[in-house]
Amino acid sequence: MKLSVPGRATAAAVVAAVTLLTTGSIAGAAPAPEPAAAAAPDLPVASVKAHLTQFQSIATANGGNRAHGRAGYKASLDYVKAKLDAAGFTTSVQQFTSGGAIGYNLIADWPGGDTNQVIMAGSHLDSVTSGAGINDNGSGSAAVLEAALTVARTNYQPTKHLRFAWWGAEERGLVGSRYYVNNLSSANRARISGYLNFDMIGSPNPGYFVYDDDPAIEKTFKDYFAGIGVATEIETEGDGRSDHAPFKSAGVPVGGLFTGASNTKSAAQAAKWGGTAGQSFDRCYHSSCDTTSNINETALDRNGDALAYAVWELSS
Ligand code: TRP
Ligand code: ZN
């Protein structure tokens, strides 16, 4: 769903209106206002869900999971990579080993923008071995994929350089993202202006949690949710438990979104967000019932749109 949020486009319109008032004439000699920054597009939730359906089919065809070292992981990566390649991204697959098996990160760069200022958005693509991992973390993977495809579809040409990532072996201890960060040169690490992480953004009994990290990134997410009238809380269910942690340790500004895992929704949280008090945000966390049925579509939609808003705002 598309909802307008006050942003730079609005500010530019105000500038234009003021210019018109002060010059008193449209055809006056006033300097043209700066072009408005491209407004963040709506991320179609139906498209995000279509990617989840594909991840579910991949798991079902490969022993029920998409875990590191299993066929379902590589098939998930091949699915995402084919979409990105067809859309015009420059993709690379980074290999590492963990637990005696080869793991893979997928990195996709959108050509253009200032490569000394890179905005990254990422999510882990692996599941645990016990299930298909549709909320954890098909949800983040699908939304980041759809954001990247929307960049291509709209031919977005941001000031900064955009890079998207899908990490392997997060469930074995942030292995893929740590490998990526450890293998960056210090110059390339310093070029990353921000890393945005999306791990579990469609929890069936959702909360709306924003990482309390880099203030500018945090504010961008909070502004989006304020604009649609959805209350947020600071993420507290285990800071450092996802792929932003290696970036943060390396000094990169980080942020992200989360709709909750095994923690219990309080009565106060149910009052403001709906859902069921006294129940986990995700009762299927790390279990076999983390299927396409384990997704709250409203949460997935709102978080996908917040993701797009942040990517556009922070790179414009
Ligand atoms: N990363 C965890 C997993 O994949 C889930 C998780 C727990 C989480 N606490 C978090 C993700 C806080 C983001 C933020 O199992
Ligand atoms: Zn996860």
In order along the chain (316 residues), what is the average pLDDT of each group of 10 residues? 42 36 40 62 97 99 98 98 98 98 98 98 98 99 98 98 98 98 98 98 98 98 98 92 98 98 98 98 98 98 98 98
User: Is 170 marked active-site?
Assistant: yes
Question: For every residue of 178-204, which 3-state class applies, written as one string?
Answer: HHHHHCCCHHHHHCEEEEEEECCCCCC
CATH number of the domain within which 173 lies? 3.40.630.10
CA 46 to chain centre: 16
Domain that holds residue 281: 45-315
| Residue 293 included in any domain | yes
| Residue 25 included in any domain | no
| Residue 16 included in any domain | no
pLDDT of residue 37: 64
Q: List all residues whose CB is within 6 A of at least one atom of ligand 1.
A: 136, 170-171, 199-200, 235, 237-238, 241-242, 258, 261
- Please choose from 68, 167, 200 the residue to mutate so as to test ligand 1's pocket, defined by most ligand atoms within 8 A of CB: 200
| Residue 218 included in any domain | yes
Instruction: Supply φ then ψ for residue 283, to 5 degrees.
Output: -70, -15
| Residue 8 included in any domain | no
pLDDT of residue 165: 99
| Residue 11 included in any domain | no
pLDDT of residue 96: 98
Question: Closest Cα to atom 3, ligand 1: which residue?
Answer: 171
Q: How remote is the CA of residue 136 from the centroid of ligand 2, in Å?
A: 5
The whole model's pTM is what? 0.90
Q: Which residues surround ligand 2, an ion (CB under 5 A)?
A: 136-137, 199
Q: Closest ligand 1 atom to the C-alpha of 211?
A: 14
| Residue 94 included in any domain | yes
Query: How many Å apart are CA 118 and CA 161, to the nearest integer?
Result: 5
Q: How many domains does the chain have?
A: 1
| Residue 38 included in any domain | no
Which residues are CB-contacts of 203 (< 8 A; sequence separation ≥ 6)?
Answer: 135, 259, 260, 261, 281, 282, 296, 299
Query: What angle, 0 to 180 degrees and rounded to 10, lies between the N-to-C axes of helices 297-315 and 45-61?
Result: 110
Check: CB of residue 178 under 8 Å from CB of residue 83.
no
H or E stretch at 162: strand 160-167
Q: How remote is the CA of residue 126 from the centroid of ligand 1, in Å?
A: 13
